[in-house]
A and B are shown apart, each in its own frame.
Chain A
């Protein structure tokens, strides 16, 4: 089945140690998103790619970066994780411009910062 895949599902890192989260999709969608979701809160959009065009939300900290080497893959890099960055990170995809332009979410990566 076509889907959005995130690896790893659980990630533990140390304070200040860079970490990379991965997202891949088999939907051939042109937009990929990264969200941060803290406990019992709504997802908060960090940034998104429309094809290769990167769009950063104004309040996303510089500590968060992203790469999209091709249509299928997108990475979230956290350069120096702090305790406040512990959260669930959700990847989502959509096909902008289609009649069914709906975001589909991956299962998420739960990040723990020690």
Chain B
């Protein structure tokens, strides 16, 4: 079975600074997808970024980028120029290519300090 581990239950970052959230996963599959979702307090879970395992290039979405290390099974999220609106719970998630099911990590609560 696949597992997703987020080792940082909570993190904080100064506004305008950069922060990296860690995620590791365990799988025996060769083809899969990885995701970072953001869930602000009492608000909707939204997709931040997605990475296909077969792509060597790291995904980037504006201020959000990932460091995907397939051999190490690591998928960290870097947030640059942090903004107050980035404060949220961030979930790392895994999905096998032939599966419907998302496997979530336990989440990292990010606080942004003005």
Residues of A with Cβ closer than 8 Å to B?
31, 33, 40-43, 45, 48, 50, 55, 90, 94, 96, 101-108
Contact = CB atoms under 8 A, between A and B. Distances in A.
Interface residues of B, number: 20
23 contacts: A31-B100, A33-B100, A40-B89, A40-B107, A40-B109, A41-B106, A41-B107, A42-B106, A42-B107, A43-B45, A43-B91, A45-B101, A48-B100, A55-B100, A90-B45, A96-B100, A102-B47, A102-B50, A103-B47, A104-B47, A105-B44, A108-B44, A108-B45
Contacts, number: 43
B44 A106 contact: yes
Interface string B17-50: 0000000000000000101010000011111001
